[in-house]
Amino acid sequence: MLSSMKIAAAIAALATAVVAQSDTIPVTGKNGDATIQSHNPAGVAYIASLTPTSKSNISGNVLALTSSDMVGVNFQIALTGLPSEGGPFLYHLHDYPVPADGNCTATGAHVDPFVRGEAPVCDPASPATCQVGDLSGKHGKPTNETFSATYVDKYVSTVPGDGSFMGNRSIVIHFANKTRIACANFVDYTNGTAGVNTSSSANGSSSATGSSTRSSASQTGSATSSSASGSRTSGSASSSSGAAVSTGAASQMLADSALVALVGGLAMFAI
Ligand SMILES: *[C@@H]1O[C@H](CO)[C@@H](O)[C@H](O)[C@H]1NC(C)=O
Ligand SMILES: *[C@@H]1O[C@H](CO)[C@@H](O)[C@H](O)[C@H]1NC(C)=O
Ligand SMILES: *[C@@H]1O[C@H](CO)[C@@H](O)[C@H](O)[C@H]1NC(C)=O
Ligand SMILES: *[C@@H]1O[C@H](CO)[C@@H](O)[C@H](O)[C@H]1NC(C)=O
Ligand SMILES: *[C@@H]1O[C@H](CO)[C@@H](O)[C@H](O)[C@H]1NC(C)=O
Ligand SMILES: *[C@@H]1O[C@H](CO)[C@@H](O)[C@H](O)[C@H]1NC(C)=O
Ligand SMILES: *[C@@H]1O[C@H](CO)[C@@H](O)[C@H](O)[C@H]1NC(C)=O
Ligand SMILES: *[C@@H]1O[C@H](CO)[C@@H](O)[C@H](O)[C@H]1NC(C)=O
Ligand SMILES: [Cu+2]
């Protein structure tokens, strides 16, 4: 009797240990760990522009471009106007685009093609075990009103058809308690950065190409905001001047200057 109680206690202790473990040890999704995306197409870019609404003062951009070695996606993020309370904030790639009414709830869940789920929280030391869309879990949370970050996430795809494809999805920013604060859709920005395209810039004609394709990109985005298209226009001016650069790193450099210009444009707009 006594020994069977001991066994029961031991089993209970073991069960507790297992539960405790599953809270801290990275989990593998039902479909395994996230796979590194090493065939993303060069030059492809998407951008999500956040603009103030009645519910949020957040403005800024999340630029996503195929990384320079085509492994994963280089995210370049610059946000201002985050709330003064309620952080640290979370942000993720969400499954569905934001509908015309701006309802962030309609973006569904995080991009999670490996069906890993939200719990336990992502361990940034083991990013393959995190939800693919859990960018703040893997790369750090915004903590105050301004946030900027540049990093490569190897698990995100720019290949349409991949489960980890991000180009048709949205970005959602949350309070620490997960309430959704703001959201925006990714739109194609390939020729916004790659007006740049080495071969055409060699002919000195890329400024025009870049500007015109870029302004069509801003028209797509401008459905959600006029201030964003204003800042994108200044982005195109700056990128055109950068188009003299025609190395393989050009699209990266141009992307950088475009982002700086975008941020600069926002700052100008704020004044
Ligand atoms: C760059 O330009 C060349 C020639 O116009 C074209 O074949 C190629 O697809 C372009 N690349 C990108 C990423 O736009
Ligand atoms: C936006 O900023 C204004 C001015 O600081 C403030 O009064 C307002 O409460 C803010 N709105 C939100 C949703 O945080
Ligand atoms: C979440 O946090 C925000 C900011 O602190 C707060 O305004 C909101 O009421 C909270 N929502 C819930 C459901 O607790
Ligand atoms: C927002 O979308 C969610 C999910 O689709 C829906 O349940 C909710 O009613 C919508 N809210 C509004 C205000 O339309
Ligand atoms: C705001 O957060 C960033 C990190 O996202 C940090 O570098 C910066 O120092 C913070 N600023 C203040 C005023 O706390
Ligand atoms: C986005 O693209 C992925 C991969 O191509 C696809 O599985 C998903 O259904 C698409 N989502 C929407 C909302 O179109
Ligand atoms: C970008 O520009 C290239 C060359 O002009 C074109 O072939 C390609 O279709 C464009 N891509 C997008 C997504 O606009
Ligand atoms: C650049 O100009 C040369 C000579 O006119 C032409 O053969 C080539 O196709 C042009 N390249 C592009 C990408 O327009
Ligand atoms: Cu989210």
- Among 144, 148, 151, the mutation site with the greatest number of ligand 5 atoms within 8 A of its Cβ is 144
Residue that wins the pLDDT comparison between 148 and 256:
148
pLDDT of 5: 55
Span 58-68, pLDDT tens digits: 999 999 999 99
Q: How distant, in Å, are the alpha carbons of 1, 7, 10, 18, 204 from that of 4?
A: 5, 5, 10, 21, 84
**Residues within 5 Å of ion ligand 9, judged at the Cβ atom:** 92, 172
DSSP lists the bridge partners of residue 188 as: 46
Span from the CA of 175 to the centroid of ligand 9 (angstroms): 10
Residue that wins the pLDDT comparison between 160 and 199:
160
Span from the CA of 116 to the centroid of ligand 9 (angstroms): 15
Span from the CA of 255 to the centroid of ligand 8 (angstroms): 24
Quick one: pLDDT band at residue 117, thresholds 50, 70, 90?
Answer: very high
Q: Is 200 in the pocket of ligand 8 (CB under 6 A)?
A: yes
Beta strands in 11-128 (DSSP E): 45-50, 59-66, 73-80, 90-94
Any idea which fold 29-188 has? Immunoglobulin-like (2.60.40)
Instruction: Give the Cα separation of 47 and 35 in Å (integer).
Output: 23
Instruction: Give the Cα separation of 190 and 11 in Å (integer).
Output: 57
Residue that wins the pLDDT comparison between 45 and 268:
45
DSSP lists the bridge partners of residue 171 as: 93, 184
- Buried b vs exposed e over 226-247: b needs ≥16 C-beta within 10 Å? ebbbbbbbbbbebbbebbebbe
Q: Is 52 in the pocket of ligand 2 (CB under 6 A)?
A: no
Span from the CA of 251 to the centroid of ligand 1 (angstroms): 12
The minimum-distance atom of ligand 5 relative to the CA of 143 is 2
pLDDT of 216: 31
Structure tokens at 106: 């309609």
Report residue 159 CA to chain centroid gap.
15
- Alpha helices by DSSP H, listed for the chain, are 2-24, 135-139, 190-193, 198-202, 206-222, 226-242, 250-270
Q: Is 197 in the pocket of ligand 8 (CB under 6 A)?
A: no
172, pLDDT greater than 80: yes
- Among 188, 191, 205, the mutation site with the greatest number of ligand 7 atoms within 8 A of its Cβ is 191
Residues in contact with ligand 7 (CB, 6 Å cut-off): 188, 190-191
Using left for φ > 0, alpha for ψ between -120 and 50, and beta otherwise, residue 242 falls in: alpha
Q: Tell me the CB-side half-sphere exposure of residue 200, using CA atoms within 13 A.
A: 16
Instruction: Give the Cα separation of 82 and 58 in Å (integer).
Output: 5
Span 13-41, pLDDT tens digits: 544 444 444 455 667 889 999 999 999 99
Residue that wins the pLDDT comparison between 236 and 91:
91
Span 211-245, pLDDT tens digits: 223 333 332 232 223 333 333 333 332 232 222 22
Q: Is 43 in the pocket of ligand 1 (CB under 6 A)?
A: yes
- Closest ligand by atom to 40 CA: 1
Structure tokens at 204: 């000195």
Eight-class DSSP state of 188:
E
Domains of the chain, by residue range, sit at 29-188, 190-271
Instruction: Give the Cα separation of 65 and 188 in Å (integer).
Output: 10
Mean pLDDT across the chain: 74
